[in-house]
């Protein structure tokens, strides 16, 4: 695999979509697919797909297409989905509870070990089997339980404080839902999820249909 050159972020952001479609194909028992067929499913052009996958060594064969099982497994490895990760959630309100409630993350290898909050009324409650603990205990808990991913679902005013606790206690990656631009050290990877931005983009296309494309 040629990994000397950095793969562009736009390519990386398409990989989860390929992975999802390949998983659907596997579940339907389809084990071979051409880039043209993948193009129809994903909305990306066939040459785009070939180029994207070539970044990682090009899994297809001329005249055959792609072996779905093999490509799915390889993409899973590239995305780091062949491992499992421990995560915690800071902020056990509406969104924090919803994230904890979704078993799909755990099925994909991302296990939420605990939620943390500062509201005494929430501390001690459980979401599925996941306990809500006092945020004051969060640093210690992270250090003792090999937690790599910290999720932030507190109000934006508290998000930087949570990020500081995460950094001090050895968290490696932050999945941030708070609408705040967090300052974190270079060793930490951070991914911001802003449903609002997606909604506002939808609104733009609703009002400017001629600009719309599925790519
Ligand atoms: P919420 O008010 O239901 O929950 C926030 C929770 O954080 C509360 O339980 C509160 O006690 C707790 N909290 C506050 N300060 C804390 C601290 N220092 N340590 C630990 N816990 C603390 O709010 P909701 O609706 O769940 O939203 C949470 C966050 O997610 C907000 O920042 C909101 O803007 C954001 N949000 C983001 C979305 C997105 O697309 N990224 C979508 C919806 C909400």
Residue-wise pLDDT tens for the chain (215 aa)? 445 567 888 899 999 999 999 999 999 999 999 988 999 988 889 999 988 988 877 677 777 788 999 999 999 999 999 999 999 999 999 999 999 999 999 999 999 999 999 999 999 999 999 999 999 999 999 999 999 999 999 999 999 999 999 999 999 999 999 999 999 999 999 999 998 888 999 999 999 988 887 65
21 and 115 share a domain?
no
102 and 30 share a domain?
no
Q: How many whole angstroms from 77 Cα to the centroid of ligand 1?
A: 32
pLDDT score, position 173: 98
Ligand 1 in reach of 91 Cβ (< 6 A):
yes
Pocket perturbation via mutation, ligand 1, pick of 127, 152, 155 by most ligand atoms within 8 A of CB: 155
Out of 78, 107, 130, a domain closes at: 78
Ligand 1 in reach of 178 Cβ (< 6 A):
yes
How many beta carbons lie within 10 A of that of residue 64, not counting itself?
10
* Beta-sheet pairing, 173-176 with 149-152: parallel
Q: How many whole angstroms from 93 Cα to the centroid of ligand 1?
A: 6
- Helix, strand, coil proportions of the chain in percent (round to 5)? 45, 20, 35
Per the structure, the complete domain to which residue 178 belongs is given by 85-197
In this structure, what token pair is assigned to residue 131? 């306990």
Q: How many whole angstroms from 195 Cα to the centroid of ligand 1?
A: 14
Ligand 1 in reach of 150 Cβ (< 6 A):
no
pLDDT score, position 5: 64
111 and 138 share a domain?
yes
What is the longest distance spanned by two Cα atoms in the chain? 63
Q: How many whole angstroms from 92 Cα to the centroid of ligand 1?
A: 7
Q: How many whole angstroms from 207 Cα to the centroid of ligand 1?
A: 30
pLDDT score, position 2: 44
In this structure, what token pair is assigned to residue 49? 């797909």
Cβ–Cβ < 8 Å for 174, 147: no
94 and 188 share a domain?
yes
**Residue 59, SS3 per DSSP:** coil
User: Alpha helix locations (H) across 58-149?
Assistant: 68-78, 94-101, 103-107, 138-144
pLDDT score, position 43: 87
Instruction: Give how far Cα 1 sits from Cα of 64, 99, 100, 103, Å.
Output: 21, 35, 36, 33
Given phi > 0 = left and psi -120 to 50 = alpha, else beta, which region is 201?
alpha
Pocket perturbation via mutation, ligand 1, pick of 91, 163, 178 by most ligand atoms within 8 A of CB: 91
Q: Is the dihedral of CA 125, 130, 136, 137 positive or negative?
A: positive
187 and 95 share a domain?
yes
162 and 121 share a domain?
yes
Q: Smallest Cα–Cα separation from 116: which of 99, 97, 135? A: 135
pLDDT score, position 62: 73
């Amino acid at each position: 695999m040629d990994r000397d050159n950095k793969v562009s972020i736009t390519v990386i952001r398409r990989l989860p979509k390929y992975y999802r479609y390949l998983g659907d194909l596997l579940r339907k028992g389809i084990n071979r697919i051409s880039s043209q067929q993948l193009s129809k499913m994903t909305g990306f052009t066939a040459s785009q797909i070939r180029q994207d996958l070539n970044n990682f060594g090009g899994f297809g064969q001329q005249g055959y297409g792609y072996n779905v099982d093999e490509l799915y497994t390889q993409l899973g490895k590239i995305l780091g989905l062949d491992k499992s990760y421990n995560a915690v959630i800071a902020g056990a309100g509406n969104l924090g509870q919803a994230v904890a409630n979704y078993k799909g993350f755990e099925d994909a290898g991302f296990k939420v070990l605990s939620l943390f909050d500062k509201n005494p009324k929430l501390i001690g409650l459980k979401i599925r089997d996941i306990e809500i603990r006092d945020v004051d205990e969060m640093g210690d808990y992270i250090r003792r339980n090999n937690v790599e991913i910290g999720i932030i679902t507190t109000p934006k005013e508290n998000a930087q404080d949570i990020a500081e606790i995460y950094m001090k206690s050895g968290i490696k990656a932050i999945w941030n839902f708070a609408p705040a631009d967090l300052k974190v050290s270079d060793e930490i990877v951070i991914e911001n999820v802003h449903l609002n931005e997606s909604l506002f983009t939808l609104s733009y296309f609703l009002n400017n249909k001629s600009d719309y494309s599925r790519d």
